[in-house]
Structure formats: structure tokens, C-alpha cells
Amino acid sequence: MYFYRTVEFKHLMVDLLYWRDLQRTGVVFGASLFLLLSLSVCSIISVISYVALALLSVTISFRIYKGILQAVQKSEDGHPFNFEMHFSQCFLWPVGSMLTWLLLFFQFAVLMWILTYVGALFNGLTLLILGLIGAFSWPVIYEKHQAQIDHYYGLVNKQIKDVLGK
């Protein structure tokens, strides 16, 4: 039964990639391309780094506010995140360390700020989009121009072997 489903799936994929059923292939290709193009507008790297920067800003602002309030009122309330620090030291040592040391706050903020620019410039979904277009285009192009492609592939392959052989 498993072998039958695997063979059936392979035939379905070949039919999709070679555009044998235009309506089904058009729907699959269009929906996939639309999904990838939609996701490329919102980079996951940018979203994660902006959320982390926002949380970091709120946390450090609250810490500074509590420090100023404690200094003005001359109270001994202690650290505003004392419970969270104890919890994080027990269970999440790296997170607790970042909340404890201001230097790590600064390093993390700089890293997230850099990642926002990396996320804005580079998006892995671009490669997925090109791969999807190639997967749906290349089989049809190769099928139509197989003789010419094989001829030039042979020439390139021979040149590479000559260069690597020397």
C-alpha cells in the first residue's frame, strides 16, 4: 500500500511539474508563488528582531524607572525583577544573565538592530521563490529543448574536466 502511494505521488508530482494538467498545475503554482511572495514582504528575521528589541526596550526602561524611583524615595525595594531573576537563574540561566548585566543588554540590542537590517536586505524566501519558478519551468524547457541543452551541457562538462585534469 505504501509503495502504491509513493508511486502515485511521484506521478502526481511529474504531472504537476510538466504542466500536464494545466488547471491543477496553475492552481498549485499560483498558490505557492503567492504564499512565498506574501511571506517575502514580512521577513521572519526582521519580525523576531523587532519583537526582541521592543521587549528589551520595555524591560530596560522599567528597570531604569524603578532605579530612579528607588533613588528618589530612598527605599530598599531591591531589584524590580528579583523574582524573575531567581526564576531565570534556576531554570533559564542565559536569560537571567542578560537581565542582570547591562553590558549584555547593550550587546543584545546591537545584535538585534543589526539583524533588522540583515532581515531587510536578505530574505531566504527569495531563493525559495526562484526555486519554485525553476521547478515549474525547467522540466518543460528541458523537454522542449533537450538536444540543445544536452549538447551545451556536454561542452561545459568537457571544459570542466579539462580544467580539473590539468
At 118-148, the pLDDT tens digits run: 667 666 677 678 788 999 999 999 999 999 9
Has residue 54 been placed in a domain?
yes
In the chain, % of residues over pLDDT 90: 19
Has residue 166 been placed in a domain?
no
Provide the domain limits for residue 57: 44-120
Number of compact structural domains in the chain: 2
**157 CB neighbour count, 10 Å cutoff:** 10
Which CA distances in Å does 20 have to 33, 46, 99, 143?
A: 19, 39, 58, 12
Residues 116 and 49 in one domain: yes
pLDDT at 152: 94
Q: In this structure, which amino acid lies at residue 21?
A: D
Residues 60 and 105 in one domain: yes
Has residue 84 been placed in a domain?
yes
pTM score of the predicted model? 0.41
Has residue 31 been placed in a domain?
yes
d(CA 77, CA 60): 17
Q: Whose CA is closest to 66, among 82, 51, 55, 54? A: 82
Has residue 145 been placed in a domain?
no
Has residue 12 been placed in a domain?
yes
d(CA 63, CA 85): 13
Has residue 164 been placed in a domain?
no
Residues 27 and 51 in one domain: no
Least confident of 64-68, 70-74, 139-143: 70-74
Match 508530482 to its residue by C-alpha cell. 13
At 25-41, the pLDDT tens digits run: 999 999 888 777 766 77
DSSP annotation string for 74-127: T-----TTHHHHHHHHHH-HHHHHHHH-HHHHHHHHHHHHHHHHHHHH--HHHH
Residues 97 and 129 in one domain: no
